[in-house]
Amino acid sequence: MTEKLLGVLLAIVSVTHPVFAQEPSASHASRLQPLPSVALDQALIVLPQPAASATAAAGAGLGTAAAVDPRVDAATAFQIGPEDILDISVWKNPELSRVVPVRPDGKVSLPLVNDIQAAGLTPATLRKQVTDRLSEFIPAPEVSVMVREVHSRKVAVVGAVKTPGRFELKSPMTVLEVIALAQGFTDFAARDRIVVLRQNGTTATRMPFNYRKIADGAEQENFLVKPGDIVVVP
């Protein structure tokens, strides 16, 4: 009985007391060393960025892409004017299709529709109006309106330029570009007293333009001209 009790006590002591545990070898001890602090620091460097930072970066990218060139806006806001040539076609109805000029009063003449206002409208607006008028005569007409030639967008350059006259604006142009169309200044042009006259209803706005400031590198807005503007070079 005493021998059995002694055996049990020895088994318990060998399990719980570290003296009886086998010491690890040198090779095992080297493998059990903790990771060096440098490795931990490097691991921290490659952690993914927070979602908020990624969202902010994406927002910044969207903000950059949203920048719009003002010339593009000016080009897309085209309105039909007198002297423009329009190609108005009605699908499967060639007898109703016409290539027509916009008259000085701003109207065009079409079969069944007769006279309809075109000047001051965009092609899409005119298309809808022609469709509504033709719907009184034919079911579900398919109408397209295309601007074949642009002659209404003109600006005048007068005064001390080599070739004064009226010039068509085929695209958005600045004051300097319009003066270049007039072949530039004469020898006696007052380059610092140029004025752009812009008609607003019954009144005209005078906008000064100083070419010398631009040539000297000073700040001077080289703004876009509009159809109907008059550039006066004294």
CA gap 197, 71 in Å, rounded: 21
CATH 3.30.1950.10 occupies which residues in the chain? 85-149
Q: pLDDT digit string (tens) for 12-60?
A: 545 444 444 444 444 444 444 554 444 444 444 444 444 444 444 444 4
Which letter does DSSP use for residue 162 in this model?
S
Q: pLDDT digit string (tens) for 168-196?
A: 998 899 999 999 999 999 999 999 999 99
CATH 3.10.560.10 occupies which residues in the chain? 154-233
Identify the helix (H) or strand (E) that includes residue 158. Answer: strand 154-159
CA gap 21, 14 in Å, rounded: 8
CATH of domain 154-233: 3.10.560.10
Q: 84, 86, 104, 95: which is closest to 153 by C-alpha?
A: 84
Q: Which class in CATH covers the domain with range 85-149?
A: alpha beta
User: Within 13 Å, how many C-alpha atoms sit on residue 226's CB side?
Assistant: 11
Confidence grade of residue 7 (pLDDT, cut at 50, 70, 90): low
